[in-house]
Structure formats: C-alpha cells, structure tokens
C-alpha cells in the first residue's frame, strides 16, 4: 500500500471521525457543570474538583511495564531509545554506523567499491539538489512507497467530510 493510499485513507478516517464527533457532541447547555462554554472548560472543572478531593491528576509513572493507566519516566524512555538505536545499528563501527552493509562491501576490494559508487550515483540525493523529470519524480515516489506526489489531499479530505 503506498503512502498516498495511506494518507488518503487517513484523511477519510479523520473526516468520518469529525462527522461522528459533531453528531455526538451534544448540547453544552445540558452539562451538569458550571462551565458550559466548551467541553474543555467542563473537563477542567471536573479535574479541579477531583484534585480538590485528593484524586491523582495524571497517569502514574511505572517503569516496570507499559499499561494504559501509567507512563514511563523520561529516564526509561531515553534508555529504550538508546537500546533501539543499538539494535538498528547492529554493531557497525562509528565510521559506518548507519551503513553497516556498505561497511561490509568496502572490505571486498576496489570492484565492490566501484560498483557501490555507481549504484550510489544512480540514487536520489538528500544532500544535493537534483533535476529530475516528472517521470523520474513519480518513479522515485513510487519506489519509496509514497504514491503520486501531486495528490490533492485537501480535496480528498473535503470530499470525505461532506
């Protein structure tokens, strides 16, 4: 499934959710709170009452396990990210830590290096400006799973929400 298809489905899903929220939003005047100007104001009023009654104002920190009723500490999140980075790098040396497969190829001699440089020369560059034809741009987007970069997602969204 291309990125274009996924974004289109996302826009359609968001529009459907907005329709549902508008339908079930209800009449704010029917709230049993003092604040009736918005749902946020009413929720904040309820939260303040809960805090005054000694209730917790947020999720508890629990580094032992993930759950819907708790959150990890920033230390735990940093640790998990460091572990993920180490898994992605797979032990590559610092000089090639995002290119482990290239590191292995460079050790095979000049032919491997020449082949690698030719292949890299035929790739999209993130560091340099490139002049690509419309067909090349479309092919690059297709190769990346993006789909058609000219899709008007605002039109998709507008059509979906009406």
72: in domain: yes
Q: In sequence order, which residues have a C-beta less than 8 Å from that of residue 38 and are 6 or more positions away? A: 28
Range in 14-23, 33-42, 66-75, 127-136 with the lowest mean pLDDT: 66-75
pLDDT tier for residue 94 given thresholds of 50, 70 and 90: low
| Cα atoms in the Cβ-side hemisphere of radius 13 Å centred on 89 | 14
Q: Residue 49 belongs to what domain range?
A: 1-57+152-162
**Residue 122 has what pLDDT?**
65
**Residue 6 has what pLDDT?**
81
64: in domain: yes
pTM equals 0.30
47: in domain: yes
């Amino acid at each position: 499934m291309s990125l274009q298809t996924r974004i289109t489905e996302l826009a359609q899903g968001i529009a459907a959710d907005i329709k549902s929220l508008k339908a079930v939003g209800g009449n704010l005047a029917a709230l049993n709170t003092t604040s009736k100007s918005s749902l946020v104001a009413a929720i904040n009023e309820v939260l303040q009452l809960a805090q005054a009654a000694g209730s917790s104002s947020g999720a508890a920190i629990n580094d032992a396990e993930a759950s819907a009723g708790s959150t990890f500490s920033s230390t735990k999140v940093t640790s998990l990210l460091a572990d993920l980075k180490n898994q992605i790098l797979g032990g590559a040396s610092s000089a090639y830590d995002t290119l482990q497969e290239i590191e292995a190829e460079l050790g095979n001699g000049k032919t491997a290096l020449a082949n690698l440089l030719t292949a890299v020369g035929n790739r999209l560059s993130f560091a340099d400006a490139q002049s690509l034809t419309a067909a090349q741009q479309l092919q690059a987007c297709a190769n990346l799973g993006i789909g058609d970069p000219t899709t008007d997602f605002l039109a998709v969204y507008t059509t979906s929400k009406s």
